[in-house]
Amino acid sequence: MKRNLRCVALLACMLAMAIPTAAQRLRIDGVGPLAPLSLRGVTPVVAGQRLEILAGDGTQLSVQPWPAFLPQRFAPQTVQAERRVLPAGPSDRLSFTRLAERQPWLVIGSGSRSGTPLVGDWRLHRDGQGWEIVGDGVARGWQPGQALRMIIAGQRWCLYLLDADGATQRRGIADESEAQASWAALRAEYGRPCGPPER
């Protein structure tokens, strides 16, 4: 009995360390608002809970906190970054594509609003009940920290809702309030399970 309680406590601790809390909202820095950015041949590096991308021209992007269940080592690849400037704060998106491929294998977003495209025809949606993903005439509920296994355009994907809230406010000339979420979509290798962090 004591051993089972210790295992449950250890698992809860591991989950707490790997999934961002409300105080640790995922943040993407270095993305400019004017035009999408494409960095080819860069090698992202994970240091602690921070992903850093440094291009030869001095362009620097970072993501923090970087969850432990997302890849921790990267080969050179193309990273595309885009930012939408909105009254309640920016919405950012990074796509990672291996140099030999044409389609991203990892996509991550922060400050995403209802209607944001995820992967393929699937979109993020928020209704009165909470967050969900919608596509192909189907809606699936989604909770922070939950992994969804999906087949999208014939490929297996793991989708993670990293953090979410009901509304955020920015005070200025006008008050703005909008629900926001951070998420990641990871193309699953054959046999790799979606789920909580693997240690």
Pull the structure tokens for residue 128: 């009165």
How does residue 3 score in pLDDT terms, banded at 50, 70 and 90? low
Going by C-alpha positions, the residue among 127, 104, 102 that lies closest to residue 114 is 127
- Section 148-173 average pLDDT: 79
How does residue 129 score in pLDDT terms, banded at 50, 70 and 90? confident
Please count the other Cβ atoms lying within 10 Å of the Cβ belonging to residue 197. 14
Q: Looking at the predicted structure, is the pLDDT value of residue 36 above 60?
A: yes
Output the pLDDT for position 67.
93
Task: Give the whole-angstrom CA distance, residue 52 versus residue 192.
Answer: 25
Q: Looking up tokens 């998106």, which residue turns up?
A: 93
The reply to whether the predicted model has a pTM over 0.85 is no
